[in-house]
Amino acid sequence: MRTKIVAGNWKMNKTSAEAKALTSEVISLHGAEVKSPTKVILCVPFPFLQQSKEQTANTPVAVGAQNCSEHESGAYTGEVSAAMLKSLGIPYVILGHSERRQYFQESGAQLARKVDRALAHQLIPIFCCGEPLEIREQGTHEALVRKQVAEGLFHLAPEAISGIIIAYEPVWAIGTGKTATTQQAQDMHAVIRKELAGKYGNVVSEKIPILYGGSVKPDNARELFSCPDVDGGLVGGASLKARDFVDIIKGA
């Protein structure tokens, strides 16, 4: 039985004061209303990591980053390393979000290196995959997602891949208000799990949480999260409102 996980991806939103207020609202609503063991992660922008980390100390809410460098350290102006995140006590990092793949040309090989850096510093990657609309329309979406998963993760040993989280996020559903149907989500999650089983066996594959992302809202979360292979969600827009985010957590 996999524990459900709900992670919020704040993307490039909020000021320091707004981030502080949102973190504290999530903590207090969560504390008052959520009794389930669902893991909750707030993936906040880099400048707010320390602040959110301090605010969430001794609460069940964890903090994650949205990216890290594939390099260990050195002359990479503007980059943030896995070691830096680790030194702040940050346990999670989103890698390979479709916005990074699309706007920053992050390749499969580069993502494999980022995964290695993250794991070398005991960070848990939330590894994103998902197809753009034209690929879904061509009917090659399963092949593309299988390729993304293989390129980013299949160099890992079974013990290493057992510790990661995968997020399936169809690009056509991100920030569009268009959600995958439960059938579309379950079908792709089953494809990913089968691919993991083919490479690593059923025991490893059954351990790995696969989250769904793409316009998850309070009114569709429960149904999506009830699919057998959907282990929770990666939530963008709706994670910017504490009320909606906590209602989504309750859906898990």
| Residues at the site binding ligand PEP, with contacts judged by CB under 6 A | 9, 169, 174-175, 213-216, 234-238
Q: How far is the CB of 241 from ligand PEP (least distance, A)?
A: 11
Q: How far is the CB of 164 from ligand PEP (least distance, A)?
A: 16
C-alpha closest to that of 40 among 126, 120, 114, 162: 126
Q: How far is the CB of 111 from ligand PEP (least distance, A)?
A: 15
Cβ(204)–Cβ(161) under 8 Å? yes
153, exposed or middle or buried, with CB in 10 Å at 0-12, 13-18, 19+? buried
Cβ(188)–Cβ(142) under 8 Å? yes
Separation between Cα atoms, residue 224 and residue 216, nearest integer Å: 8
Cβ(22)–Cβ(14) under 8 Å? yes
Which is nearer to ligand PEP, 123 or 234 (by Cβ)? 234
Residues acting as catalytic residues: 97, 169
Which is nearer to ligand PEP, 2 or 178 (by Cβ)? 178
Which is nearer to ligand PEP, 205 or 239 (by Cβ)? 239
